[in-house]
Chain A
């Protein structure tokens, strides 16, 4: 199998709060994990690619100081949304690629629905 666990599934918090989201590959090691954001009725938008033991690669337009990514082990990557504001409200989804080959499919966590009041 290829199970990816994402926690928490839902967060509601006040503006200015920092929120940490965890992504774990439960039954495989993932050297590469991906963080996406999805707004209602829109497609997935890649935010950053997280590589174990090195700095994340951010997509154009994504603020690395606002969206902090840490990939400390082969099974865990975290995304911290710092000083979140209402416009950061979205569905955040992580994925992990099983194996070293880029041809391997990405397996997704269940997503985190973030609502900033």
Chain B
């Protein structure tokens, strides 16, 4: 079966750095997406990785290792507004998007 694992919840301090991990086991791989979803709102696109390595976009970076079936989202200089759920999603060989359950990130002052 297809499976995406990410921690259910994480807590971090304002101004700090946090890394949200995602591991996946899917039938094929055509890329991995990270989305941010604030409570009661729809997801917003953060990043897309299809090649190994780190992609940096401002305070957010996303890393991929295809051989390990592993990705992480790195958030720097955390702000209170970063409190949200972060969804990992993998595009499988049939170009179906397989969604993780999301990681709820709580930022404390």
Q: Give A contacts to B, CB under 8 Å.
A: 6, 42-44, 46, 91, 93, 95, 102-103, 105-111, 113
Contact = CB atoms under 8 A, between A and B. Distances in A.
B101 A102 contact: no
Nearest to A42: B101
A93 B41 CA distance: 9
A93 B33 contact: no
B50 A103 contact: yes
Interface in B33-75: 33, 40-45, 48, 50
Contacts of A107: 45
14 contacts: A43-B87, A43-B99, A43-B100, A91-B40, A102-B30, A103-B30, A103-B48, A105-B45, A105-B48, A106-B97, A108-B44, A110-B41, A111-B41, A113-B40
